[in-house]
Every structure is written in C-alpha cells, then in structure tokens.
Structure 1
C-alpha cells in the first residue's frame, strides 16, 4: 500500500476532530453570546440565535412573557434568530407613530434595528466561537505537550475551521435571515395574527358612573357562592355572586364597580370575543368595559380556562400519574397558545383611552400539605405538586406579561386556608364549584388587590347619586 494511502485514516481522524471542535465551539458560543438589545417604538427586544439544530429551515424562537414559542416567519439555515420581548410602552409606541411617516416609519425602524442587532450578534458569536476553539486547541496542545510550532499550527487550524463552519452555517445557509427580518414591521408579525381589529364598545351601554371594572372568569364571578340579590339573565348565566371580590372592593373604596366576569370565560371567548352561556350570549367583556370611560381601575382574572386547567386536574385525578410526556406536551401547547392570546388582551387593555391602573390577579394554590380530604378523588401528594407546578407556570406568564406592559401582578396566597384545612378559602371537592374560592377566599383576593392598590396609585373618586358601595352593573 502506498504511504499516502496509509495516512488516510489518520487524516480523516484529524478532520473529524477538527470538525468536532469547530461544532462544539459554535454550539457553546450560541449558548453564551449575549443577546443584542434594541428599543424601537417603545418595544424592547433582545436578539440572538436559537440553539442550532440539524434542520435546514424552520421558525425562529420568540420568548414572550417567559414562554418560548415559534415565530411566524420561517428562516433558512441551522442557525435561526431568537428574539426576547422584555418591555412594551404603548405611550412610546404612540409617540413613534405620530412622527413623520407614522406607522410605516415605526415599522421600518423595527425591521432595521432587528437586522442590525442580528448582524452584531453574529459578529460577537463568531469572535466568541473562535475564542472557544482557541482555548480547546491550546488545552489539547498542553495535554499532548506539543511544541510551540505544533500548538500554533493547531491554533490556526481550529480558528480557520470555526470561521469556515460559521461562514457556512450562518453567512451562507442563513444568508436570507436579514431579508426575513426586514419584513417584520411589528411584534404581531412575530407572534402571528392578533385581534383582527381593536376591541370597541359596540352595542354596549355607557357606564359613566363606574369607577372600577373587573373582567375575568369564574374566580372573579365567584361561582358557587350566594347569587346576587337581583340578578339579570347575564348574571345568572355567568354565575356572578354577591360574594365576588369585586363587591368587597366596592364596599372598601366606595366605588361603583362593574363586575363583568363570567364562568368559563377565556381570552378569546369571553374577554375579547362574545361568550355563549347556554341560551345567553354574553358580549365581550372588554367591549362592555369600554362603556365605563371614567373607570380608573381594571382588574383582570384570566388564564385557567385558556389552559384547560380544570380538565387537566380531572384527568390527573383519574390517571395513575399526570406528569407523563403526553400530558406535559399538551400543557406546554396550551400555555404557548395562552401566551399569544394574553399578549392580545394586554395590548387592548393598554390602549384604553382612560389609561386605568391595571391589576392582573395571579391564581392561588388550592392544595395544602394535608390533602386527606381528596383521597376519594385520587389526588395524591405527588399529583398535587404537579398541578401546583402548572399553576406556577401560568402565574409566571401572567406576572411577566404584567411587568412587560407596566401593569401590576397580584399574587394570591391562601396559606393555612387551603383545601382540607380547618377554615379553607376554597370550596371542597363535593361543592357545586370545586376548587373555586368560597366567600372567605373571595375576601382574601379582595384584600390582596387592595394592598396592591395602596402600594401604587390609588384612584380618587367623587361619589355621585348613581354610585354605590356595591353597584350591580351588568352589560
């Protein structure tokens, strides 16, 4: 055999080692290279790269309120953009839109800044990848006790191979990414279609005397508690109670309050769109809230129905375990869908002309250390922990979304008063509305909201003859 043929396996081994070092360096650099921050039109966005994969095309990643979701645009190449939305200021957005060129100029500014940030990120990523390759080469040379000439030779090969791999993976295969980013004219282009048109107060009566509004689901409606003394058809269909935390807040602040919450409401079917409750069609809650043009406080309680939490709890109780891959994947899919809907809701609330103080209520954990009263429902301590962890993820989305829009997130703690305690704040498993707050739980939520209001701007109200401590205004 000719000498050069005998060297082929060795050369292939060297080539494989060089390729492995280059790939490792690029992978490490993508993990540690800092995201590049831009702030176009009041939206603070950080731009970087998603972890490379073997696919030659696909969506990028968008981190929205702590949840990573695929972007609507698709990108070519194994290295694709990762974008993180960290802050939104609707006033800054409005200011940008009123400048010369309006919305077109604001959209162009966003696309140009995203493209520039992507380019800066790639430059940093390349330099850091070269640094990793150099460190690995020097370390290998030291272990092998190579001569200085050999070390320099290994260093040159490592740096050249990393640069070549980056050029192939980014500058060639991902060369279309800047053009794709230039098509992004707003955050909606990244998250997908939002509400087709802004919610408007169409077909709902004006409520000029209302000072605070509550929108949300059965927790805010206080389903399962005592009904209102003089309920309307909509009140009854939605399960609204005179023990709702809205009415406790009304009494404490001498507010005329409008409680629009409805059992089974979601963001799409209830808050931003109409909701069908039996034979009653309930108007969109946010549309009805717009009739209260002078309301200085809006409280939002939403999310559990969007992620089908009660259904997951029931399935968890029926199954031997509720942290299997299928149920976990389903939950992640639901929380991602909720995140985009939640963005739509917050955008609409932030655009209200009266600029109210907005509270976003988080969810309470109904399960305490003692769950003996749930044995008949097949809820074990491990299952309760899993359900709590999913509520924690939902609360994380609620909290980060509130922070992004400069709203106030309000944690809810039922410590010492959870299920199976002597004085629970939660309706038991045999109640008409299991796991929902009872009257004491609604009062606890009202106290948490009141404390949040006292720490921030408290609205001033001038009582009028039409206002009352607990007005039962309904759409």
Structure 2
C-alpha cells in the first residue's frame, strides 16, 4: 500500500514539475504540456494564446488533455497550408505535435521515477534496510511508478496522439474562420505619409479640440487636433495619417466597416493602403473589444466590483479579443515592406489615488479591480506583439491620475471621461516615439 501511495504522489508531482516541450513547425513555436484531470471524459484541450487560456477547437477523449502555449508567430503560407511529406500521407504539424506529446510523457515518467527513487531511498536509509532489501524496494517502486505513468497516459489520454496527428495546421486548434476580406481603399493616395495611426477613441483623441477643417468622417470619429498623431507629426516633421475612430474594435473598425454618426467608415486596414510609403504604423485597440466602458459603468453602479460573474464576463471578452487580435496581427505582418508596427498599451487612468471618485461610485477597491482588468488587457497586447515581433509603447501617467492636481485624463463629468487630455496625448506620443527609435526585435527581421 505504501508503494502505491508513493507512486501516485510521484506521478502527481511529476505532472507539475515536467517542463513543457517546445515544438516548432509551420512558422510557429508551441510549448506542449498537460492539463487536467477534467471531470468530463470528452472535451477540448487548452490553447494558451497571448497569456489567455481558450479551449481548442478539437476535442480529446480522457480527463488528461494537452495544453498548447503559442509562443512565436510567423505568419505566411506555411501557417495556412497543409505541410505534408512528399507522398502526402502525413501532416508535419500533427506529427510534430504528437512527438512533443510523447516527449512530455517520457519526461514525466522519468521525473516521476526520480521522485519515487528519492523517496524510497530516504525510506530505506531511515529504516536502515539492508542493501539487498533497499535495492529490491527501489526496483519495485520504479516498476510500479513507471507502469502507473504509462497506464495513466494510455487510459486517461488514450487518443491524444491520434487527435494531434490529425491536426493539419495550428488553425485547426484555434478554429478556422474565413479571413477578413478587405475592400480596396476609397480615398486618394497619400504619397507623403510616413506614419499611420490605427485605433479607437484614445488614438482619435476624443474629448479634445476638434480638427481644423475637419471632414464629416473626422467629426463622426471624433478625431482631435490634440491626438497623439498630431504630436507625432510635429516630432517627425513628416505627415501622419490618423485613421483612428471612436468606438472602433478589431472586427468593427479595423478589419470591417464601422457605422458611426450616420455614416459608414471603411476599414482602417483598407484605408492604410492609401499610404504606400508609410514606414511605421501605430495600433491602439482593445478597450472596446473587451467592453471596458460597460465594465466601468457596472462598477460604478454595483456595491462591489470584481465578483465572479464580472470576472467571468471579462475573461470571456478577453479570450475572444485574443483570437481577433491574432487575426489583426496576421494582416499587419503581411503588409508589404513591412512597415514598423508599434502596439500601444493602455494607460492607468486612476493611479494610486482614487478617493476623489467615491461620489462617482468608484472606490479605491473598485479602482484596483479596474486596474487589474487593464493590466490583463495590456498583457495580451504585449504578449501578442512580442510573439509577432512588434514593439509596444506603454504611456506613463504615473503621478497624473484623476485625483491628482495635474491629471492626464478627463474626469467623469467631462466629455469623453477617462480619455487622455492633450497632455496625456503628448505622453502617449512620447511613448510611441521611444518605441519607434528602439532597435527592432530580433523576430521582426525573420518573419
């Protein structure tokens, strides 16, 4: 009985100690490990995309299932097409994943055996067993733990290698969706533009002074003469084209048309092609995708913020955003050139002081919860950008939160609450400028 307890404990500990196995194929790098045990016998595995766990599109039989963490992205035909042997009999992606699974299982068994051996040797020493008895105890334990590990994988994850071999592309794990078809650009070609700004109301500068000679689209999108794109134009001394639009999401604004102010605004990725000489692009997106404004309003009206229901809702929105963000990164990586892409993270509007917001329904505890949501969103933005080889810009609003004497964000009673003031937009411009001047990440040169 004692040997069985030692074996079970060794296998349990080994599952937690075994390092993920690195698998590289089709321009992707994946760390493969095990998740579970799950209560149900059949279900999806886990795909860790930009730090968020989402269920795989394929299902597995058994309570132990694979966990695949996507760590590097190189977009291209090798990701979309089936990579086969010359006779077309075996998918390279599936074979590599199955090999990684077997390597993990082998390492887990070896580590389990090592843990069991250490425990049994310690028991033999403490009990002062004769050498022959100690050796017999160790051998019996090793056989038992090895058999338990092998049986566990055969019984609890019996069809995992077969399912992994059936994967033609990592797209099978995420779930195949038709790529967004971008219409041709509608406006005139802007040959003198060197930098293009894409994004939402933060990038548009909503709440600040309107543009001089603003078009109907500028007014609908709430573009401002104090937006960070205007500061970047002055810093660069070259024209900057802002396509940012208030309320934009990846699907509704960047990759798809957006209806706002009674007019239809074309996809920002389409209009980007009006600037063929642009050498840099900044992207500020995500807050609308995860419904940040709705979460903020919910926190102001509820006695507390950050309960299980709210957390579950936010996690679901962030997981969905991770998939949309991956599609956006694919389009950005496929741009000719390619231009330098900088992803802008979001600023902290509250800072460490939030006492002045109590009358608005935001207590210091609620502000901490909202900051944690922003931190999770920024982590997805950062990890996705790093995986694609893009730098990120993190605006520094430290010491200039809402309750300070010189806030960088607009108050709850102002137009476009929690959006950057003109000074806050300047801080964003400086962060973007620093990112543009930094050496490009190593991956960016090998995409």
The answer to whether 1:115 aligns with 2:123 is no
* Contact 2:29–2:71 (Cα < 8 Å) also in 1: yes
The answer to whether 1:282 aligns with 2:276 is no
Cα distance in 2 for partners of 1:399, 1:419 equals 25
Aligned to 1:387: 370
**Which 4+ residue blocks in structure 1 deviate beyond 6 angstroms?**
95-105
TM-score (normalised: structure 2):
0.91
The answer to whether 1:45 aligns with 2:30 is yes
The answer to whether 1:422 aligns with 2:400 is no
Aligned to 2:187: 205
Pairwise CA distance, 1:96: 8.8
The answer to whether 1:303 aligns with 2:286 is yes
Cα distance in 1 for partners of 2:68, 2:252 equals 29
Aligned to 1:473: none
Pairwise CA distance, 1:399: 0.7
Cα distance in 1 for partners of 2:21, 2:325 equals 25
Aligned to 1:225: 208
Secondary structure of 1:214's match?
strand
Secondary structure of 2:276's match?
coil
Within the candidate set 80, 83, 97, 2:65 is matched to 80
Cα distance in 1 for partners of 2:124, 2:159 equals 38
Cα distance in 1 for partners of 2:87, 2:187 equals 35
Pairwise CA distance, 1:321: 1.8
Aligned to 1:269: 252
The answer to whether 1:349 aligns with 2:370 is no
Aligned to 2:48: 63
* Contact 2:31–2:69 (Cα < 8 Å) also in 1: yes
Pairwise CA distance, 1:323: 2.2
Pairwise CA distance, 1:410: 0.7
Pairwise CA distance, 1:400: 0.9
Cα distance in 2 for partners of 1:332, 1:143 equals 49
Return 5+ residue gaps in structure 2 as ranges.
441-447
The answer to whether 1:132 aligns with 2:115 is yes
TM-score (normalised: structure 1):
0.86
Pairwise CA distance, 1:140: 4.0
* Contact 1:31–1:51 (Cα < 8 Å) also in 2: no
* Contact 2:245–2:253 (Cα < 8 Å) also in 1: yes
Cα distance in 1 for partners of 2:129, 2:263 equals 82
Q: Say if 1:329 and 1:96 are closer, same or farther in 2 by CA, change over 3 A.
A: closer
Cα distance in 2 for partners of 1:311, 1:104 equals 54
Within the candidate set 9, 23, 36, 2:8 is matched to 23
**More deviation, 169-178/307-316:** 169-178
Cα distance in 2 for partners of 1:110, 1:312 equals 40
1:111-135 CA distances to partner (integer Å, 9 max, x unpaired)? 2211211111111111111222222
* Contact 2:304–2:366 (Cα < 8 Å) also in 1: yes
Return 5+ residue gaps in structure 1 as ranges.
1-13, 458-475
Aligned to 1:437: 420
Cα distance in 2 for partners of 1:95, 1:261 equals 32
Pairwise CA distance, 1:154: 3.9
The answer to whether 1:368 aligns with 2:351 is yes
Aligned to 1:246: 229
* Contact 2:401–2:407 (Cα < 8 Å) also in 1: yes
Pairwise CA distance, 1:160: 3.0
Cα distance in 2 for partners of 1:104, 1:334 equals 43
* Residues matched between the structures, number: 438
1:397-433 CA distances to partner (integer Å, 9 max, x unpaired)? 1111111111011111111221121111100111011
* Contact 1:44–1:87 (Cα < 8 Å) also in 2: yes
Q: Say if 1:24 and 1:274 are closer, same or farther in 2 by CA, change over 3 A.
A: farther
Q: Say if 1:51 and 1:26 are closer, same or farther in 2 by CA, change over 3 A.
A: farther
1:57-82 CA distances to partner (integer Å, 9 max, x unpaired)? 22112221112222111111222111
Structure index of larger Rg: 1
Cα distance in 2 for partners of 1:424, 1:96 equals 45
Pairwise CA distance, 1:310: 1.6
Cα distance in 2 for partners of 1:260, 1:20 equals 63
Pairwise CA distance, 1:104: 11
* Contact 2:305–2:366 (Cα < 8 Å) also in 1: yes
Aligned to 2:219: 236
Aligned to 1:312: 295
